[in-house]
Chain A
Amino acid sequence: MDWIASLQGLIGGVMIGLSAVWLMATLGRIAGISGIVGSLVTTLPKGDSAWRVAFVLGLVSGPLLLMVMGGGLGNVAGAPGEVVGSPAGGVGLMLVAGLLVGVGTGLGSGCTSGHGVCGLARLSPRSLVATVTFLACAIVTVYIVRHVFGGGA
Chain B
Amino acid sequence: MKTLMGYIAGLIFGLGLALAGMTDPARVLGFLDIFGAWDPTLMFVLGGAVVTTFIGYRLVFRRERPMIGETFQLPTRQDLDARLIGGAALFGIGWGLSGYCPGPAIASIAGLTAPLFAMLVAMVAGWFLARAIPARS
Quick one: which of A24, A77, A82, A139 contacts B57, CB cutoff 8 A? A24
Majority-rule SS of B interface residues: helix
- The reply to whether B122 and A95 form a contact with Cβ atoms under 8 Å apart is yes
* B53, A121: Cβ atoms closer than 8 Å: yes
With known contacts A10-B45, A94-B118, A141–B3 Cβ distance under 8 A: no
Contact B57 A122 (CB under 8 A): yes
Contact: B21 with A56, CB < 8 Å? Answer: no
Pick the contact of B40 from A6, A75, A76, A146 — CB < 8 Å? A6
Is the Cβ of B94 less than 8 Å from the Cβ of A100?
Answer: yes
- The distance from the CB of A34 to the nearest CB of chain B, in whole angstroms, is 5
Report how far A20 CA is from B23 CA in the complex, Å: 18
Q: How far is the CA of A113 from the CA of B103 in the complex (A)?
A: 8
Least CB distance, A53 to chain B, in whole angstroms:
8
CA distance A105 to B78 in the complex (A): 18
Task: Show 27 residue pairs from A and B whose CB-CB distance is below 8 angstroms, ordered by the A residue.
Answer: A1-B40, A8-B19, A12-B15, A12-B20, A26-B9, A28-B72, A31-B13, A42-B128, A51-B2, A51-B5, A54-B3, A59-B17, A64-B110, A73-B18, A76-B21, A82-B111, A91-B114, A95-B121, A96-B94, A97-B122, A101-B119, A102-B127, A118-B57, A130-B88, A133-B85, A134-B91, A141-B92
